[in-house]
Chain A
């Protein structure tokens, strides 16, 4: 066995005891959080509480509203407006699927094939945001105008006959039909689908595609077994970012639809601003919120994305 010897310590002047580290910074995170928390309290928490109390009030505009814990408003609102709820989910769901079908190939192209065109295409995707939501939706009114070139072409090709039979359009009109509303929703929320899809596709290591090819996967199999599963986080966040605002949207149904295409957002708007039935409007808002939360939770559970790296 070897003997242990100790190296002589280097001669050093008597050093002062190191001070315990200063804890000066311990409050910094909270200070940084403060503006955000204040914002949330003032503009989210307080209005929520206020709306919740409104939804259980009774009374009239002339006599004033009082909290009477009248939960029947919820039931009444739901039984009166369930068709609009169903329609909202249907339209938003269709628009989300269309966004996914249109957005995925585009995001794939930008992420893997665009080369030096990548930035240009990205700008084109975002460019519509430079004009107002309202203007963009109104533009669709012109695009889908009765007797316009697009509607004329669709009519000539007998596409309108099919969509009429399906109940998506009415006669030779596209405007003021479900199809018009779904088109508007799809168009307006498409960037919210493309951006998260692009982000998650772009993160995929190109060597994984090579590895899949090396292991006998044809390009389509590589997509099904490697690319698509790895882009699931983007698919989930993209569909949520599209579906949630689309389900509550009322501008598209208002400008491009008719009374037969009213969504729950239109009902809430009317109740708040025209009928001035605040309790019903508040109750409808909460029902919509609860329904969306429920659907989103089930969706995230099913897609199992928390398991992805």
Chain B
């Protein structure tokens, strides 16, 4: 295990940018990935995440800025001189070499003569010891994926780059490989930079996630932080689902902002509002569907004081086992989504029923109203 505080594996991008003619794939970007962390670049296709990864690998030349690995500027180095290795999308295993030789490729290029022991150990780590003499096309997708990981990891790179490594696998295998990769990363302690468009994958595996959109990093943070405190509607919609209510700032006091929306009042903690909230200004109030409780309008009196509440009418409900997902039509927001755990199901909550939606104000977040409330909805689908 490598010392976690050893700074030799820090990846530092300074003002790195990539343009193709008039098109800017990556806007000037500063990013530091600390040694030993599992870092995910998350975004829809075409957002510049793969280009960023390829610039770190040296497969793409940045138009501006520098890449440094552990304090060493590697911007001008060709890929074969950089202490990084890549797990390519669809693996790029050498079809004419067997699994053993694929894994040994990097070691042999560095002039190592006796590779048998190392390759054997690496194949055991990814549970492919039996398959050493097979050709890549004789293996299943999941096995090929593990060969690609082994082929990169055996070189003990300072950083391992993963370019949508699980994209070609089916859902079940993907879940399994996510845990597997996480286990390997913990075991070897190498910095992993993982590019993916799958928000669930990024959240499950990574310590830090950078959400990219149109060549820029929209927000960077731990998965829980991004999920609970999105700074933009894009992040709020790309990571999970969010409901937005356009509200007007009424007053602010004691760390709380009071807002008016459709005749009702909503409370938002000041710390959770990323927009400048001046009295009379507009704010987009967001809340996650699972934070909301649903009470039939007849029982509205039983709702405890101090909760944000909105009235509405159930438009649709779908039972999906662990929870029921409701779509509620409300005067302040059409298609309000609510996920209710199936603990005690109220038989009156059927489409057409008048309901009150209520939630703890601490779960509310505020965003700048000047942006598109639906940004990132399409991409996340």
- Contact: B80 with A213, CB < 8 Å? yes
- Contact: A215 with B155, CB < 8 Å? yes
Q: How far is the CB of B91 from chain A (nearest CB, A)?
A: 8
Asked whether any CB of chain B lies closer than 8 Å to the CB of A72, the reply is no
Q: How far is the CB of B375 from chain A (nearest CB, A)?
A: 32
- Contact: B79 with A208, CB < 8 Å? no
What is the interface of chain A mostly: helix, strand, loop, or mixed? helix
Within 8 A of A (CB), among B272-299: none
Query: Which residue on A lies nearest to B89, using beta carbons?
Result: A207
Q: How far is the CB of B227 from chain A (nearest CB, A)?
A: 33
Name the contact of A212 in the complex, choosing from B84, B105, B110 (C-beta under 8 A): B105
- Contact: A216 with B155, CB < 8 Å? yes
From known contacts A210-B59, A309-B137, infer whether A216 and B80 are also in contact, taking CB-CB under 8 Å: yes
Q: How far is the CB of A258 from chain B (nearest CB, A)?
A: 45
Contact code string B147-162 (vs A, CB < 8 Å = 1, else 0): 0000110010000000
Query: Which residue on A lies nearest to B60, using beta carbons?
Result: A210
From known contacts A207-B88, A221-B109, A309-B137, infer whether A214 and B96 are also in contact, taking CB-CB under 8 Å: no
Asked whether any CB of chain A lies closer than 8 Å to the CB of B229, the reply is no
Contact code string B131-143 (vs A, CB < 8 Å = 1, else 0): 0000101000000
> Which residues on A sit within 8 Å (CB–CB) of B88?
207, 210-211, 214
Asked whether any CB of chain B lies closer than 8 Å to the CB of A47, the reply is no
> Which residues on A sit within 8 Å (CB–CB) of B155?
215-216
Name the contact of B78 in the complex, choosing from A208, A213, A308 (C-beta under 8 A): A213
- Contact: B80 with A309, CB < 8 Å? no
Complexed CA–CA distance, A65 and B269 (Å) = 112
Interchain pairs with CB closer than 8 A, number: 64
> Which residues on B sit within 8 Å (CB–CB) of A205?
92
Name the contact of B59 in the complex, choosing from A213, A221, A230, A308 (C-beta under 8 A): A213
Asked whether any CB of chain B lies closer than 8 Å to the CB of A170, the reply is no
> Which residues on A sit within 8 Å (CB–CB) of B106?
215-216
> Which residues on A sit within 8 Å (CB–CB) of B135?
309
Count of A interface residues, CB-CB < 8 Å: 19
Instruction: Indicate the member of A211, A212, A226 with the most B CB atoms within 10 Å.
Output: A211
> Which residues on A sit within 8 Å (CB–CB) of B86?
210-211, 214
Query: Which residue on A lies nearest to B104, using beta carbons?
Result: A215
From known contacts A221-B109, A309-B137, infer whether A214 and B95 are also in contact, taking CB-CB under 8 Å: no
Contact code string A154-166 (vs B, CB < 8 Å = 1, else 0): 0000000000000
- Contact: A210 with B137, CB < 8 Å? no
Q: How far is the CB of A86 from chain B (nearest CB, A)?
A: 35
- Contact: B95 with A309, CB < 8 Å? yes
Count of B interface residues, CB-CB < 8 Å: 26
Complexed CA–CA distance, A208 and B151 (Å) = 13
Query: Which residue on B lies nearest to A213, using beta carbons?
Result: B79
Complexed CA–CA distance, A309 and B90 (Å) = 17
Asked whether any CB of chain B lies closer than 8 Å to the CB of A217, the reply is yes
Asked whether any CB of chain B lies closer than 8 Å to the CB of A229, the reply is yes
Asked whether any CB of chain B lies closer than 8 Å to the CB of A218, the reply is yes
Asked whether any CB of chain A lies closer than 8 Å to the CB of B257, the reply is no
> Which residues on A sit within 8 Å (CB–CB) of B81?
216
Asked whether any CB of chain A lies closer than 8 Å to the CB of B85, the reply is yes
Asked whether any CB of chain A lies closer than 8 Å to the CB of B193, the reply is no
> Which residues on B sit within 8 Å (CB–CB) of A214?
57, 59, 79-80, 84-86, 88, 152
Name the contact of A208 in the complex, choosing from B58, B80, B94 (C-beta under 8 A): B94
> Which residues on A sit within 8 Å (CB–CB) of B95?
208, 230, 308-309
> Which residues on A sit within 8 Å (CB–CB) of B109?
215-217, 221
Contact code string B69-109 (vs A, CB < 8 Å = 1, else 0): 00000000011110011101010111110000000011001
- Contact: A210 with B94, CB < 8 Å? no
From known contacts A210-B59, A214-B57, infer whether A229 and B80 are also in contact, taking CB-CB under 8 Å: no
Q: How far is the CB of B189 from chain A (nearest CB, A)?
A: 21
> Which residues on B sit within 8 Å (CB–CB) of A212?
94, 105
> Which residues on B sit within 8 Å (CB–CB) of A213?
58-59, 78-80
Complexed CA–CA distance, A214 and B87 (Å) = 10
Query: Which residue on B lies nearest to A217, using beta carbons?
Result: B109
5 contacts between A and B (CB under 8 A): A205-B92, A215-B85, A215-B109, A215-B155, A216-B109
Q: Can you add 7 more A-B contacts, CB < 8 Å, to A212-B94, A215-B151?
A: A210-B88, A213-B80, A214-B85, A215-B152, A218-B80, A226-B96, A230-B95
Interface residues of B (CB under 8 A from A): 57-59, 78-81, 84-86, 88, 90, 92-96, 105-106, 109-110, 135, 137, 151-152, 155
6 closest residue pairs by CB, A with B: A215-B106, A211-B92, A216-B109, A207-B92, A213-B79, A309-B95
